[in-house]
Amino acid sequence: MSNRPSRQAARKKDGQVTHVQPSSDGGSNTLWWWVGGGLVALVAIALIVAMATGGDDGGSSGRDVRQVAFVEVDGSPLVPYASVQDGIDTAVGTPAPGFSASEFDNTEHVIVPGDGTARLIGFFAHWCPHCQAELPRLTSWLGDNEVPEGVEIIAVSTSVDEGSPNYPPSSWFEREDWPELTLRDSPASDISSAYGLSGYPYFVVVDGEGNVLRRVSGELTTEAWEELVAEAAASVA
């Protein structure tokens, strides 16, 4: 005797169609096969869509964007800001190092202190709570005020750590709608090291002749930020 389950059959007999019911096992297996195949297809489609759109809520600056890049520093590094004592910063009046770096979209820039443009350079770490509070405040100020003629504001994304919060920094800057030039530091944070960074956020004002006017470490009030902008503008007035 065969153990094979009976199969459905449809036969015409005397003008009528008779049906033989299939066994419950065969129908159930067929049903689950189709359900499983459909789920696999849906998952595959979802993966394809995710890959096509970048799979990141941060927009074009997602995890597929390089968050650090090669940089080149030209000139002597500034003394570490941590060496400042009694408010005396020996870096003031000394030449600021130049550097070449690129934006998150790989656009390259060469920063040459002493080219007649005053610069206010801010260094931000994506994982730093003070930086996270500072960036939107400065963005708001920049939206309400014009940067003085002859002054360039630069943000340097530095100390990048993929395992730390608020990664990737490219998405953070995009999300905050930061309007000024943003440059990537190297994996070793060479630019911030050359400028003597010792805490975050960190700001350096460089006059039009390329010399350091002022350095500030820590979160700024709006009034303190405006003082830095005014100092930069006065140096090229």
pTM of the entire structure? 0.75
Q: How far apart are the first and last CA of the chain?
A: 105
Position 64 scores a pLDDT of 86
> For the chain, what is the mean pLDDT?
83
pLDDT, greater one: 185 or 17: 185
Mean per-residue pLDDT, 185-206: 98
User: Model confidence over 10-64: pLDDT tens digits?
Assistant: 444 444 444 434 444 555 555 444 545 555 555 454 444 344 333 333 344 466 8
Beta strands in the chain (DSSP E): 9-13, 16-20, 72-74, 98-102, 108-111, 118-124, 151-157, 181-184, 202-206, 212-217
CA distance 46 to 52: 10
The pLDDT confidence band at residue 193, using thresholds 50, 70 and 90, is: very high
Q: Which range, of 27-36, 57-66, 97-106, 179-188, averages the lowest pLDDT? A: 27-36
Mark out the alpha helices in the chain (DSSP H runs). Answer: 24-53, 129-144, 169-175, 190-194, 222-234
Q: Across residues 133-150, what is the average pLDDT?
A: 98
- What percent of the chain is modeled with pLDDT above 70? 73
Sheet hosting strand 202-206, strand order edge to edge: 181-184, 151-157, 118-124, 202-206, 212-217
Mean pLDDT of 216-234: 97
Let me know: does 89 contact 78? Beta carbons within 8 Å. Answer: no
Tell me: pLDDT of 232 over 60.
Answer: yes
- Please report where in the chains the tokens 């002054």 appear, as a residue: 151
Whole-number pLDDT of residue 6: 42
Q: Where are the alpha helices (DSSP H) in 145-207?
A: 169-175, 190-194
Res 169 pLDDT > 60: yes
pLDDT of res. 87: 87
- The reported pLDDT for the residue numbered 28 is 52
